[in-house]
Amino acid sequence: MKPLSINPQVLNVKESATLAINQQVKTLRKEGNEIYHFGFGQSPFPVPALIQKALQENSDKKDYLPTQGLPELLTAISQFYGKEFGYEFTPDLVCIGPGSKELIFQIVYLLEGPLLIPAPSWVSYGPQAAIRGKKIVPILTKRENGYRLQAEELDKICHQYGEIQKILIFNNPNNPAGSCHTESEIKEIAEICRAYHVIAICDEIYALINYSGHPHYSIAHYYPEGSVVTGGLSKAFSAGGYRLGIIMIPPTMDHVLQALKSLISETFSAVSTPIQHAALTAFDQYEDLRMEIEKCTTIHQFTGEYLHQRFLNMGLNCPKPEGGFYLFPDFNKYSQVLKARGIITGNQLTNTILKEANVALLPASDFYLPATNLGVRVASVDYDGEKLLKEFPGIENMTPEAIQTLFPNLVKGCDHLENFLQKL
């Protein structure tokens, strides 16, 4: 058979770095290696029982749903986001998709113009834009600012690109740095977006996992006419595998919504009907779930703070996480000793750490930073979430013994990293 030609834009896309490291860790563990998995960000907690029950009870629902989604679910989402975050998206402005990843892909696919990506940012935005042949413009953020995008950084890039339509993808709380923007930062970013007519795609998949001590602030609060918001079941509701995402589009972008509905109708048609019923329970009965979700967030806070302290003790630079379940420490202070061992790139660093310390990490280059940047993305979720929900005694009651018992892999992973650094 003649070699088949493949769309070159797809051919150049490698497997998603997060899924690839997860596969690699699974294989290594199967071979009997003890690996500390700081590489993959999946919620470790069980899907709340109420949501599981709704899924079971609706397993007989087999009819296709409207493209936009189950009408009661659209209403429940509109009300939930209104109450919880102060948004004014009416049900007709909400669409359901098989994960927010797919919805971000579709909205980026249908909008013209370059994609501005604060760096570091989630691994998939760039490849998704590349599949569409879209130009990607990383905007370098600074460690001193906790890798939070600053208005002047955005302003500079917007100025360079002049009048053409531009899209900003903005993840808050942020993967990989665990940062949450302050209200004044958000206001200033919103002003720049308005001044340059930037379309803001606000990826708020971690909005409910906010332990910053301040409310969740969004560009959509200060620039509603130009902001699209995405979310879903995957993180706070621990149901990544259910594949249910949400997108909300402002009334000012009605033609975008119509185009998106057409795109959905010609691609995945609608999300699985039983899953949409399960999601209805999640949003409609949120008050019954609130305590459980908040407990999960407190555990994320504890692990974030524990890892942060361990990293600082090792001499790594690391902004304190405030949301989600990630941290972004860097090994810059060790760059000379690492160089002496032939380790110059982040990729070499994470490969060596996996081989010699059994800790799985992702390099900064997967997050739009230069290859030589020695930052790594750490996911703080390598523990038994079910056990934790039952046994977590509260942050104030955690003792070294309890940490050892409840989070053995986080402790051992840090011990191994520390050892690795001491031996350099």
Nearest distance from residue 3's CB to ligand PLP, in Å? Answer: 33
Torsion 218-220-223-228 (CA) sign: positive
181 or 416: CB nearest ligand PLP: 181
Nearest distance from residue 141's CB to ligand PLP, in Å? Answer: 15
Q: Which residues contact 92 (CB under 8 A, 6 or more apart)?
A: 68, 74
The SS3 assignment for 233 reads coil
Q: Is 301 in the site for ligand PLP (CB under 6 A)?
A: no
78 or 234: CB nearest ligand PLP: 234
Which residues in 147-176 contact ligand PLP (CB under 6 A)? 171, 175
101 or 148: CB nearest ligand PLP: 101
Interface residue with ligand PLP, options 94, 117, 151, 205 (CB under 6 A): 205
Q: Is 240 in the site for ligand PLP (CB under 6 A)?
A: yes
CB 282 within 8 A of CB 233: yes
272-to-66, 102, 104 alpha-carbon distances in Å: 11, 14, 19
Interface residue with ligand PLP, options 100, 150, 179, 297 (CB under 6 A): 100
Nearest distance from residue 31's CB to ligand PLP, in Å? Answer: 26
Dump strand ranges (E) for 16-114. Answer: 36-37, 94-97
Closest to 95 in 3D by CA, of 224, 282, 229: 229
Nearest distance from residue 393's CB to ligand PLP, in Å? Answer: 29
283-to-50, 71, 86 alpha-carbon distances in Å: 11, 13, 15
Q: Is 417 in the site for ligand PLP (CB under 6 A)?
A: no
CB 265 within 8 A of CB 111: no
178 or 329: CB nearest ligand PLP: 178
Interface residue with ligand PLP, options 39, 245, 319, 413 (CB under 6 A): 245
How far is Cα 335 from Cα 201, in angstroms, rounded to an integer? Answer: 36
Q: Is 128 in the site for ligand PLP (CB under 6 A)?
A: no
Instruction: Please report, as ranges, the residues that interact with ligand PLP according to CB under 6 A.
Output: 41, 99-101, 122, 171, 175, 203, 205, 232, 234, 240, 245
